Amino acid sequence: MTNNSAPQEEILWEQWHNERDVEAGDELVKRYMHLVMYHVQRIAAHLPQSVSKEDIRSLGLIGLYDALEKFDVTRDLKFDTYASFRVRGAIMDGLRKEDWLPRSIRDKSKRIEQAADQLEQQLQREATSKEVADRLGVSEQEVDSVMKDTVFANLLSIEEKPKDTKDEHKEGIGYSLPDQNTPTPHDQLVKEENYQDLAQGIQQLNEKEQLVVSLFYQEELTLTEIGHVMSLTTSRISQIHARALFKLRNVLKDTISM
């Protein structure tokens, strides 16, 4: 049996690109809906249960529609790749604007980080969730829950662009590939210095933090999958991940303030 999927899709793209045929556009959305669901599932896994998957899906659909509108079929680029950046970027941008993390959680997160740092200095090793909980007079479960909720907030913050940027591409760093001229030597130098500072910061992390960062960002494993690899609970991996991001953010802040 001949597979007519590719020719049919080419026809849909021609109809959409040349005529903006609504039915063709709807069909293309259906064909690439799996990209939206993929990012919804991965991102929702790190968010509090209070954040609706349906809301995240709506944000992803905005990104998919935007990709359909702006995709140039004449370029040597797969739509899957282009749309994936747009979908994930739209979700991240939407979450950032909504500021879904309550202020109370942010305040608790700061107190947990401070207590963990104090214990680490006293004990000369990484503090456990129970030790942090005992120091603050709260339950170990509450410490793990707060750390899990702040993991994604830290990730959003570290990827957020400066508010005074004039760039029309609103996705976070790594989500968009704007088609523009080669960056100036100054911009390239600043970028390389930031990469170097970040690389040095990663080297300063302890062994577990380096492994979690590597598995999450390079291997693209979920926190649960990393937990299986390291024989640790997902909440423990969340805590290690959050502390690693906290340290890296401080490295970048210190560099910028110099």
Q: Same domain for 19 and 117?
A: no
Highest mean pLDDT among 21-30, 49-58, 175-184, 200-209: 21-30
Asked whether the beta carbons of 152 and 47 are under 8 A apart, the reply is yes
Please give the share of the chain, as a percent, with pLDDT higher than 90.
15
Residue 170 has pLDDT above 80, yes or no: no
Q: pLDDT value at position 8?
A: 85
Residue 140 has pLDDT above 50, yes or no: yes
How far apart CA 210 and CA 240 sit, in angstroms, is 9
Q: pLDDT value at position 100?
A: 63
Residue closest to 60 by CA, chosen among 52, 48, 72: 52
Per the domain annotation, does 46 fall within a domain? yes
Four-residue CA torsion sign, 148, 153, 156, 158: negative
Where residue 87 sits, what CATH number does that domain have? 1.10.1740.10
| pTM of the complete model beyond 0.95 | no
Q: Same domain for 12 and 92?
A: yes
Token duo for residue 2: 């001949």
Asked whether the beta carbons of 233 and 226 are under 8 A apart, the reply is no
Residue 186 has pLDDT above 50, yes or no: no
Tens-place pLDDT, residues 214-252: 888 777 788 888 888 888 888 888 888 888 888 887 776
Give me the mean pLDDT over the 109-118 stretch.
86
Q: pLDDT value at position 176?
A: 43
Residue 156 has pLDDT above 60, yes or no: no
Q: Same domain for 132 and 79?
A: no
Q: Same domain for 128 and 199?
A: yes
CA distances from 96 to 58, 69, 117, 153, 256 (A): 15, 23, 27, 8, 22
Q: pLDDT value at position 112?
A: 87
Domain that holds residue 19: 5-98
Q: pLDDT value at position 166?
A: 45
Q: Same domain for 121 and 38?
A: no
Per the domain annotation, does 168 fall within a domain? no
Q: pLDDT value at position 138?
A: 92
* Residue type (1 letter), 2: T
Q: Same domain for 66 and 115?
A: no
Q: Same domain for 208 and 247?
A: yes
Q: pLDDT value at position 37?
A: 93
Per-residue confidence at 113, pLDDT binned at 50, 70, 90? Answer: confident
Residue 40 has pLDDT above 60, yes or no: yes
Residue 43 has pLDDT above 90, yes or no: no
Per the domain annotation, does 171 fall within a domain? no
Tens-place pLDDT, residues 54-112: 988 999 999 999 999 988 887 777 888 889 888 988 888 887 776 666 677 778 888 88
Residue 180 has pLDDT above 90, yes or no: no
Where residue 245 sits, what CATH number does that domain have? 1.20.140.160
pLDDT higher for 162 or 201? 201
Token duo for residue 193: 């210095």
Residue 9 has pLDDT above 50, yes or no: yes
Question: How many domains, the chain?
Answer: 2
Residues 6+ apart with CB under 8 A from 27: 12
Residue closest to 85 by CA, chosen among 170, 162, 177: 177
Q: Same domain for 124 and 214?
A: yes
Last residue of a domain, one of 98, 125, 155: 98
At which residue do the structure tokens 């959050």 appear?
Answer: 242
